[in-house]
Amino acid sequence: MGSTVLGVIGVGAVVGAITFGSVAPPEAHQDNPAAAKVANPVASTPESIAAGESIYKRRCSGCHGLDAKGGPPKEEFLKPAPNLIDDSYDHGSSDGEMFYVIKNGVPPELVMDGWGERLSDTDMWNIVNYLRAEAKKSK
């Protein structure tokens, strides 16, 4: 029974740490197995997708392009911002991994800053839903 309680506490700690951004960040260009386990709690409804589009266009399109297909680098020594609706994911392809990157940024250089201090969790999940919808339309 003691190991069951510890297992439940361990899983809760991982989910809580991801939610609050205190899990050690993954190395660049790798999946994040802990974040991958986090399910998207926001249903992908037309309202969520529209809200995500609005936030994306205000907050993300400056780097990733209005069409989410990537954009030029902010500085000449940086790589271009990646396409967010293709089949290639530098930091994991699950909803949880996408949410983690939006919330915490891309370490170690933090070329992309995290939005966890400026957007609500619901806003970030809406962006994930919007990007998923755009990816489906682009195929």
pLDDT by residue for the chain (139 residues), tens digit each?
A: 554 444 434 444 444 444 444 443 434 456 899 999 999 999 999 999 999 999 999 999 999 999 999 988 878 888 888 999 998 888 888 999 999 999 999 877 778 889 999 999 999 999 999 999 999 998 7
CA distance 75 to 110: 14
| Cα–Cα distances in angstroms (integers) from residue 60 to residues 39, 63, 66, 73, 109, in the given order | 22, 6, 8, 13, 18
| Cα–Cα distances in angstroms (integers) from residue 128 to residues 1, 3, 5, in the given order | 38, 35, 33
The distance in angstroms from the start CA to the end CA of the chain is: 49
Angle at 64 between CA 63 and CA 66, to 5 degrees: 105
* Residues facing 105 on adjacent strands: 113
Cβ pair 91, 101 in contact under 8 A: yes
* pTM (predicted TM-score): 0.76
Helix axes 121-137, 46-59, angle to 10 degrees: 100
